[in-house]
Amino acid sequence: MALSGSPADDPRTIVVLRALGLGDLLTAIPALRGLRRRYPAARLLLAAPRQYRELALLSGGVDDVVDTPELGPIPDAPQEPDLAVNLHGRGPQSITALTALRPAMLLTHHHDDHPDIAGPPWRPDLHEVDRWCAFLHWAGINCRADDLKLDRPEGFADNSDAVVLHPGAGAPARQWPAQRYAAVAAALAGEGCRVVVTGSAAEAALVDEVVTRAGLPPSAAWPAAAGLPALVALISDCRLLICGDTGVGHLATATGTPSVLLFGPTPPKLWGPRGDGRHVALWAGDCGDPHAGTPDAGLLLLSVPRVLDAARSALVGCP
């Protein structure tokens, strides 16, 4: 069922639900831009956590963010929008949250708990970027899976000499051990690289542990209070990013920065970097629970020497 000929031919207000994390927002940018091109005159509101508002606006795909910290009711979204789009998941909770707004039309994947709402079947085999582009193509909306680029935010100092390590992850299953990050940081610093370690405010202790274990100066710890646009500028500038399967890795894809990404329970074919080969995804080949409370066994198979070899190849010598 394509949208042409539907009540949403010329919507004035569109609400898009994606109340998830940083990587989820970045992988949805091609779909958001596709919606923007299809409906250039509409007011397009993204229901997502407010900490990503500046990044969402930087993408050019939305007009504003409706603060939605997690899946559930969306009290600040306008009632009865002309079109609601579910970029959050397959349902049923996300479908319920959007139907509560009483949209004139809802675009979503099909779910058996909502048998009266048409939609394409959910395909777990697709890369996250491809999933949402295919979803919009089903509805007659064109988007390009390679439309991921973000421009560098202006007004921030240049950090083009930095090598960035981001040791945190959304769950312990995807977090490579801090002592291994520290060993990589110490080796690269010993070879003349200026190493910067980043993390969220909640990851401050982890950042400090890596910096201390690696023998780096305190200034190597990137201030989380600098904000997301400053982090985007840092990743855009830096020579190389080394991190796990986490949202910051998608910033390297979006900014064209070379990266070495460490995968554990989730295969890179589903969440890995897209692009021109400037990104190296290291993976032992095992699948597991990405939300588990301990580091994935496959992730632990990635050794410090293997990560260092990939980093050195990407850097081709560090001045």
CB burial of 79-106 (b: ≥16 within 10 Å; e: otherwise) equals eebbbbbbbbbbbeebbebbbebebebb
Q: What is the 3-state secondary structure (H, E, C) of the chain?
A: CCCCCCCCCCCCEEEEECCCCHHHHHHCHHHHHHHHHHCCCCEEEEEECHHHHHHHHHCCCCCEEEECCCCCCCCCCCCCCCEEEECCCCCCHHHHHHHCCCCCCEECCCCCCCCCCCCCCCCCCCCHHHHHHHHHHHCCCCCCCCCCCCCCCCCCCCCCCEEEEECCCCCHHHCCCHHHHHHHHHHHHHCCCEEEECCCHHHHHHHHHHHHHHCCCHHHECCHHHCHHHHHHHHHHCCEEEEECCHHHHHHHHHCCCEEEEECCCCHHHHCCCCCCCEEEEECCCCCCCCCCCCCHHHHCCCHHHHHHHHHHHHCCCC
pLDDT tens column, 146-185: 999 999 999 999 999 999 999 999 999 999 999 999 999 9
Q: Is the pLDDT of residue 276 over 80?
A: no
Domain coordinates in residue numbering, the chain: 13-138, 162-314
Mean pLDDT for 63-90 is 96
Mean pLDDT for 26-51 is 97
Mean pLDDT for 186-194 is 96
Mean pLDDT for 272-281 is 83
Return the pLDDT at 316: 84
Mean of per-residue pLDDT scores for the chain: 93
Return the pLDDT at 217: 97
- For residue 7, name the pLDDT band (cuts at 50, 70, 90): very low
Return the pLDDT at 4: 34
Q: What CATH homologous superfamily does 13-138 map to?
A: Glycogen Phosphorylase B; (3.40.50.2000)
Q: Is the pLDDT of residue 3 over 60?
A: no
Return the pLDDT at 277: 67
Return the pLDDT at 219: 96
Q: What angle do CA 232, 301, 202 make, to 5 degrees?
A: 35
Return the pLDDT at 317: 44
pLDDT tens column, 52-67: 999 999 999 999 999 9
Return the pLDDT at 230: 97
Return the pLDDT at 5: 38
Domains 13-138 and 162-314 share a fold: yes
Q: Is the pLDDT of residue 131 over 80?
A: yes
Return the pLDDT at 319: 45
CATH number of 162-314: 3.40.50.2000
Q: Is the pTM of this model over 0.85?
A: yes
Return the pLDDT at 184: 98
